[in-house]
Every structure is written in structure tokens, then in C-alpha cells.
Amino acid sequence: MKHRTIDITNLVEIRSKSFAYFFLSFSIAILISALFIILAMIFYPGGNLLDNYQEDFSLLFNGLCDIREPTAINGEPNLASSIMLKLGITIFTFASMSFFVILSFFFQKKRSTKYLSIIGSFFGALQTPFYIMIFFLHSTYEFHMFLVVIAPLLQYLTVILYSIVFLIDRRFPKTAQYSLLVLAIVSILFSILVGIVSGIGGQIHYVTNRLGTNLFNFLTIIIYVLLGFLLYFYLRKTNQTNTSANQKIHTI
């Protein structure tokens, strides 16, 4: 077990330049996925569960699930938005899965961060099939709602666990630590809020859920992009520092 940990640690040190470009690619992939999702929202004809004849996409009354079908809720063709949404979701989920799997390699030295990061990455990978099923699988309403609850829960657990890992291992920039912590706190507060308004029910619950989820999705995109760039520049700076140090040693 110890030998495996050493191998992973060496891999991070040896391939740090490759990991840096991976984090850069991650940020770019998230930006591309966000572009597809935003375009899908812009070109959505309209309609929601409360008002079939609503025009366009509403942050208050629509969720991304409303866009997934080739025909909009208001009955108009929605093929372009449906395709763009599914492309965006696919890119986002697989990029996120890869990000959290790779991120766990950096926290294998300490026992506390090792197991927390492994569990966090497990949840981060597990959320992918659930999100894919939400937007691609045609199922019963009950199973769809099960997926809608489980997928965000796995994402929240991933973010919360990694925010703890970042606070224990403070190698990375403080901006990365605090941005992930903000996302974790927001996810907890939003979960509590949804739990409270679900007891109230009606339109208040519906609007809170839709608006809160849409805003949380945008916040997640912003923080993921920021994390990718911050980790890229951190590793790039570390590589340059190590290269300079090695050059001085060889000169001496």
C-alpha cells in the first residue's frame, strides 16, 4: 500500500507539466460546455411545468431538464437547443469527473487528505452517470426525480470533501481554497433552503428550486473554470522554480 502511494507521488512530480496542461484543458472544456448550455437556454422556445405557453427560457420557472426534448413544452420544435444542451452536459460531466480523479493524485502524502480525496473523487466520478441519465434517459417521473436528487447530492459531497482537503493541505493558492469553500457553503445552504421550502410547497418551492439550481449551476461553472486556471498557473510556476533550482545545482 505504501509503495503505491510513493508511485502516485512520483507520478505527480514527474508529470507535473502534463497535469498543468490538463487543468488548463479542464477550464477550457468547462467554458465550452457553458457556451453550449447558454446557447441552449437562449434558443429554447419556451414552456414550463406551470405555464405551457411561456415564451423563451426563464431562470425563475425553467430548469435545464425542460430543454432536453426535441419538442419544447410549448409544442414548438426544440431540436437545436436539445442537442446543444446534451453536448454541454456531456462535456461538463466528463470534464468534471476527470478533474476530480486527477486532483486526488495531489493529496496522497497525508493519510487524512488521501482518504478524503479518494472518497471525494469517487463521488465526483459517480455523479457523471446520474447526470447523463437525467438528460438522456426517458424514464418514469419518479425515477427522474430520484436522479434529480441524487446527482446534485453527489456533486455537493464532492465539493464539500475537497474543500476540506484544500483547507488541510494548503499548498495551492488561497484563492483556490476559498473559492471551493464558497461553493461548498453555498451547496449546504441551498440544500437547507430547498428542504425548508419543500415543506411549504406550491409555487414558492417550484421557483426557489428552479432559480436556485440555475444560479448554483452558473456559480459552479465560474468556480470550476477559476480552479482549473489557478492550478495550471500554480503548477507552471512550480515547474519554473524547480527548473531554475536544477540549473543552479548543475552550474555549481
pLDDT at residue 74 is higher than 60: yes
Q: What number is the average pLDDT over the span 132-142?
A: 92
Please check whether residue 30 is in contact with residue 231, taking contact to mean a CB–CB distance below 8 angstroms. Answer: no
Place of cell 478533474: 99
Cα separation, 56 vs 175, whole angstroms: 36
- pLDDT higher than 90, residue 1: no
pLDDT reading at 64 higher than 90: yes
Task: Give the pLDDT confidence of 145-197 residue by residue, as tens digits.
Answer: 999 999 999 999 999 999 999 999 988 889 999 999 999 999 999 999 999 99
pLDDT of residue 28: 98
Instruction: Note the pLDDT of residue 251.
Output: 52
Rounded CA separation 143/131 (Å): 13
| Residue 3 clears pLDDT 60, i.e. is over it | no
* Residue 5 pLDDT: 46
Q: Which of 138, 134, 157 is nearest to 147 (CA)?
A: 134
**Pairwise pLDDT comparison (246 vs 159), residue with the higher score:** 159
Tens digits of per-residue pLDDT, 31-43?
999 999 999 999 9
pLDDT tops 80 at residue 131: yes
Q: How many helices (H) and strands (E) does the chain have?
A: 7, 0
Whole-number Å distance between alpha carbons of 14 and 19: 10
Report the predicted TM-score, pTM, of the whole model to 2 decimal places: 0.89
Q: Are 54 and 46 in contact (CB under 8 A)?
A: yes
Across the chain, mean pLDDT equals: 89
Question: How high is the pLDDT of residue 12?
Answer: 62
Question: Looking at per-residue confidence, does 173 or 97 come out higher?
Answer: 97
pLDDT confidence of residue 2: 46
pLDDT at 6: 46
Q: What Rg, from alpha-carbon coordinates, does the chain have?
A: 21
Does the pLDDT of residue 81 top 50, yes or no? yes
Average pLDDT of span 110-126: 94
Where b means 16+ CB within 10 Å and e means fewer, 55-70 reads: eebbeebbbbbbbbee
* 249/29: higher pLDDT: 29
Cα 107 from Cα 112, distance rounded (Å): 9
- Give the three-class secondary structure for 222: helix
Interatomic CA distance for residues 87 and 91, integer angstroms: 6
Amino acid at 125: A
Pick the most confident of 79-83, 195-199, 206-210. Answer: 79-83
